[in-house]
């Protein structure tokens, strides 16, 4: 029978961040990171890997590749949530029982990973461990089952742009309305954000509207893209605190 430990997904990324996660003392089997030690030479190195509960009883390397891409995407989105200059993780190879498997390109597929084949009790234990290890891992676990968290992380994993940030704002607003949540906001900040995102003269070809915006009088100060990241992630944080107070309250 194949176990998750039979698989090794080798990572590229910030070795300091990966070392901190691997040495946290507590983690989650949804995304278990290890490595950073050369046992042969008894010294540290920068080689880190992960495996996952989703690999349990799985022998199809194509599925493992695609699930790995998705887990890394969710983790990168969760990391961008906190650091806009975060160095994203990428995969440089996968081993099965210490032997490399054939490379597979990422395919265009969208959907929740959903809960792996574990009990509700085990899932809750994994979520608690994830939150204790890092809020990023907690977000990753929630994003496998909750569409709103999934959408937040997937948008944050996309290229940083006014268009993607604006779509994320609309997504958060829609989910807040569905859940009947009243999110606190600073009207002046939202106006500056939407004004810049909608204005071709300020956001260029990334703006949501066209040339006509140039001719309109515009007295609202423009935002920088870095400020937009801070605004939109702040909105997401307030949404998560309101929607999941038991985890982020």
* pLDDT score at 42: 78
Residue 174 CA to residue 20 CA, distance in Å, equals 36
DSSP string computed for 104-152: -PPP---------S--HHHHHHHHHHHHHH-HHHHHHHHHTT-HHHHHH
pTM of the predicted structure, to 2 decimals: 0.90
* pLDDT score at 177: 98
177-183 contact pairs (CB < 8 A, 24+): 179/242, 179/243, 181/239, 181/242, 181/243, 182/242, 183/235, 183/238, 183/239, 183/242
* pLDDT score at 207: 54
* pLDDT score at 203: 47
* pLDDT score at 109: 86
Divide the 249 residues of the chain into consecutive groups of 10 and give the mean pLDDT of each group: 92 96 93 87 88 96 98 98 95 97 94 95 97 97 98 96 93 97 94 81 50 52 88 98 94
């Amino acid at each position: 029978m194949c176990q998750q430990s039979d698989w090794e997904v080798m990572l590229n990324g910030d070795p300091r961040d990966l070392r901190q996660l691997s040495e946290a003392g507590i983690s989650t089997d949804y995304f278990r990171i290890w490595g950073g030690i050369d046992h042969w030479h008894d010294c540290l190195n920068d080689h880190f890997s992960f495996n996952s509960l989703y690999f349990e009883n799985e022998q199809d390397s194509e599925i493992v590749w695609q699930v790995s891409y998705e887990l890394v995407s969710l983790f990168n989105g969760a990391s961008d949530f906190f650091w806009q200059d975060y160095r994203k993780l990428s995969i440089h190879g996968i081993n099965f029982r210490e032997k490399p498997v054939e490379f597979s390109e990422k395919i265009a597929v969208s959907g929740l990973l959903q809960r792996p084949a574990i009990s509700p009790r085990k899932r809750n234990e994994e979520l608690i461990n994830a939150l204790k290890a890092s809020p990023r891992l907690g977000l990753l676990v929630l994003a496998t089952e909750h569409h709103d968290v999934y959408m937040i992380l997937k948008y944050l994993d996309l290229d940083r742009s006014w268009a993607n940030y604006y779509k994320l704002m609309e997504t958060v607003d829609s989910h807040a309305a569905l859940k009947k949540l009243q999110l606190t906001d600073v009207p002046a900040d939202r106006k500056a954000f939407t004004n810049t995102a909608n204005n071709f003269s300020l956001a260029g070809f990334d703006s949501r509207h066209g040339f006509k915006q140039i001719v309109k009088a515009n007295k609202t100060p423009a935002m920088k893209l870095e400020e937009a990241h801070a605004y939109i992630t702040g909105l997401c944080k307030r949404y998560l605190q309101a929607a999941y107070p038991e985890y982020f309250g």
